[in-house]
Chain A
Amino acid sequence: MSILAVERVTRRFGGLVAVNDVSLAVEPGMIFTVIGPNGAGKSTLFKVIAGFLAPTSGTVRFAGETISGLKPHIIARKGLVRTFQETTVFKEMTALENVVIGHHMRARSGDLGVLFGLPAARAEEARFRETAAEILTYLGLGHVLHERARNLPHGYLRALGIALALASEPRVLLLDEPFAGMNPEETDQAVRMVRGIRDRGVTVLLVEHDMSAVMRISDRILVLNFGNRIAEGTPAEIQSDPAVIDAYLGQADDMVGL
């Protein structure tokens, strides 16, 4: 059974159809990538999946259960967590504090326990800080645990955003352009990181412009153009698909990497 199924989802903004009758199915353990030119509707699709936007029509199913219409924090608690294209971290907090927050939905102690510092809540908090430090070290941020996020370089912020989402132990992780603004070296590192996340058993749904990275990392690719699904397949199939080449025509060659 697919872990995530998008069924005939349409999302309009007034007259504009940002996502038009799109379906997709993601199998567990996959890296599934959505590509498409600017404004194709990729982020909108992600927002619909994660519950930040309601679909105009269509449904989203997570592990067989309909989740469209639920609030984002409920969807997140079910195990579907999203990172953002724009801002991905809490800038005024340290890297460690950021990732501790990421643990929130795993917390079992109630607000009162936390407020009065009851032993169980304290123990939990200590555990969160430990695993937060572990995750950050795993992602290569072990040396900046107590640095405020705002002072970190761009590449680190992306990794921190992913660490934040990982802390919640998602079953499906939605990453919106995690490689944007990275140099090739940083991208290589990030690609390894995303693979590592998948190898930990997390299904990854990706939006990305960096074609060489997309082709290396993806198990399956869906192509959107003007909100329409124009192709879906393995990286090899997508690279030779005439409709895709058409859609990207006029874009810089290195953008497409075909």
Chain B
Amino acid sequence: MADQPPRAAGRTLAGFAVFALVLLVVVPLALASQPYWLTVFSNAALLALGSLGVWLTFSIGRINIAQGAFTLVGGYVTAILATRYGISFWVCLPLSAAVAALVGGLVGWPILRLRGVYFSMITLSLTSTAGLLFLNGGALTHGAEGINNIPRPAVLSSNLAFYLASAVLLLLGTAVIWRFAHSRLGYVFRSMRQNEDLAWSLGIDVARYRILAFVVSSAMGGIVGAMFAISQQSIFPSSYTVNDSVTFMLYCFLGGLDYVAGPVFGAFLLVIAFQLLSAIESYQALLYGVFMIGCMLLRPNGLLSLVLAPPGAEQSS
């Protein structure tokens, strides 16, 4: 935060600069002639963006397994607006975020009163509910056929351009979430996770802030959905399933819930590992499971806790 010890603030800025450099310069240079791997990195960047949102809901103490529903919403908004009304993607993208945010607010308002496993169970069911709604959306969504031929804007037609757009969105998202976590709002969010009643008693409007967290998370899901919609150029009710929602959550757990970088790290690690492991495809799920269980047992605070000190406890010097 603003008055963090200067060295820590400087380190964070340096870390962010390195991250930006790797995403925007190193990766494009290294993979310029490997369109397949560029796509893998685009996917990783977008999935990381989605998990960053989920991470924000974690920070208020809610395990959110609904992100797939919001990517679906964002994807359909872009698909419908672009194919039916010929609206430019650059208008569709913010609208996808806005509609996903609105849905997040409306759904979040009642369900965020629930805590713990009750909240998680409800969010778990949201993804399939969203899928069903789009399946039965009539002429608007074309049921199981989905929406095809979603136009991709000309500037994003190359894999490199699409990757760069994804990377920029991820950087922006990381910056926003980092500010959330390290400003006084982050204190407020963490206080709600630790003791909601005490937060209320200190004048914090817990209901408002938990909706804020959920709405921001949902908006990020909407952006991810819009980007994938133009990358696949089609969307179906089954484009995102409960599995995807769970995966968004797992990236956070894997990287570490205490760090903003956690979900980003987790997403890149798993997406890339998945590609490398695809050679031994039949064992993929097994290896994946063993790996996850191992991580949870050995590093319950996420892999980043190997190299980073726990946050919050700032150095006094």
Chain A positions near chain B (C-beta within 8 angstroms): 50, 52, 71-73, 76-77, 81-84, 87-94, 97, 100-102, 104-105, 107, 111, 114-117, 121-122, 125-126, 128-129, 145-146, 148, 164-165, 168
| Closest 4 pairs (CB-CB, A-B) | A105-B203, A146-B316, A76-B203, A122-B2
B202 CB–A CB distance under 8 Å: yes
A115 and B179 in contact, given A145-B316, A148-B312 (Cβ under 8 angstroms): yes
- Contact in complex: A114, B200 (CB < 8 Å): no
A72 and B195 in contact, given A94-B312, A148-B313 (Cβ under 8 angstroms): no
- Contact in complex: B194, A92 (CB < 8 Å): yes
A96: nearest chain-B partner, CB-CB: B314
- Contact in complex: B201, A84 (CB < 8 Å): yes
Q: A residues within 8 A CB of B199?
A: 101
B33 CB–A CB distance under 8 Å: no
A115: nearest chain-B partner, CB-CB: B179
Q: A residues within 8 A CB of B184?
A: 100, 104, 107, 114, 121, 125, 128
Q: B residues within 8 A CB of A114?
A: 183-185
* 8 pairs from A and B in contact (CB 8 Å cutoff): A83-B201, A87-B195, A91-B195, A100-B184, A101-B199, A114-B184, A122-B2, A165-B201
B187 CB–A CB distance under 8 Å: yes
CB of A167 to closest CB in B, whole Å:
8
- Contact in complex: A104, B201 (CB < 8 Å): no
CA distance A76 to B184 in the complex (A): 19
Q: A residues within 8 A CB of B212?
A: 111
Q: A residues within 8 A CB of B1?
A: 125
Residues 1 to 58 of chain B near chain A (Cβ within 8 Å): 1-3
B204 CB–A CB distance under 8 Å: yes
CA distance A11 to B91 in the complex (A): 55
A79: nearest chain-B partner, CB-CB: B203
- Contact in complex: B191, A125 (CB < 8 Å): no
CA distance A100 to B191 in the complex (A): 11
Contact partner, A73, options B3, B180, B183, B205, Cβ 8 Å: B205
- Contact in complex: A101, B188 (CB < 8 Å): yes
CB of B173 to closest CB in A, whole Å:
13
Q: B residues within 8 A CB of A91?
A: 194-195
CB of B212 to closest CB in A, whole Å:
7
A52 and B313 in contact, given A73-B206, A92-B190 (Cβ under 8 angstroms): no
- Contact in complex: A88, B198 (CB < 8 Å): yes
Q: A residues within 8 A CB of B145?
A: none
Q: B residues within 8 A CB of A81?
A: 201-203
B197 CB–A CB distance under 8 Å: yes
Q: B residues within 8 A CB of A116?
A: 179
Contact partner, A84, options B180, B187, B188, B197, Cβ 8 Å: B197
CB of A64 to closest CB in B, whole Å:
20
- Contact in complex: A115, B312 (CB < 8 Å): no
A119: nearest chain-B partner, CB-CB: B2
- Contact in complex: B201, A76 (CB < 8 Å): yes
B315 CB–A CB distance under 8 Å: yes
Q: A residues within 8 A CB of B194?
A: 90-93
Q: B residues within 8 A CB of A93?
A: 187, 190-191, 194, 312
CB of A91 to closest CB in B, whole Å:
6
Q: Which of B201, B204, B312, B315 has the most CB of A within 10 A?
A: B201
Complex interface bits, B163-185 against A, C-beta within 8 A gives 1, otherwise 0? 00000000000001001100111
- Contact in complex: B3, A129 (CB < 8 Å): yes
CB of B305 to closest CB in A, whole Å:
14
CA distance A149 to B180 in the complex (A): 22
- Contact in complex: A90, B195 (CB < 8 Å): yes
Contact partner, B202, options A87, A101, A121, Cβ 8 Å: A101
Q: A residues within 8 A CB of B206?
A: 73
CB of A52 to closest CB in B, whole Å:
7
- Contact in complex: A72, B201 (CB < 8 Å): yes
Q: B residues within 8 A CB of A76?
A: 200-203
Given contacts A102-B202, A122-B2, A165-B201, 8 further A-B contacts (CB under 8 A): A73-B206, A84-B201, A87-B195, A104-B204, A105-B204, A115-B176, A146-B314, A168-B202
- Contact in complex: B313, A100 (CB < 8 Å): no
Contact partner, A94, options B179, B197, B198, B313, Cβ 8 Å: B313
CB of A101 to closest CB in B, whole Å:
5
CA distance A117 to B2 in the complex (A): 7
CB of A162 to closest CB in B, whole Å:
13
A73 and B179 in contact, given A90-B190, A101-B188 (Cβ under 8 angstroms): no
CB of A86 to closest CB in B, whole Å:
10
A90 and B314 in contact, given A107-B184, A114-B185, A115-B183 (Cβ under 8 angstroms): no
CB of B87 to closest CB in A, whole Å:
28
Q: A residues within 8 A CB of B179?
A: 115-117
Q: A residues within 8 A CB of B202?
A: 73, 76, 81, 101-102, 104-105, 164-165, 168
CA distance A143 to B176 in the complex (A): 34
CA distance A88 to B201 in the complex (A): 10
Q: B residues within 8 A CB of A126?
A: 2-3
CA distance A43 to B180 in the complex (A): 35
CA distance A125 to B191 in the complex (A): 16
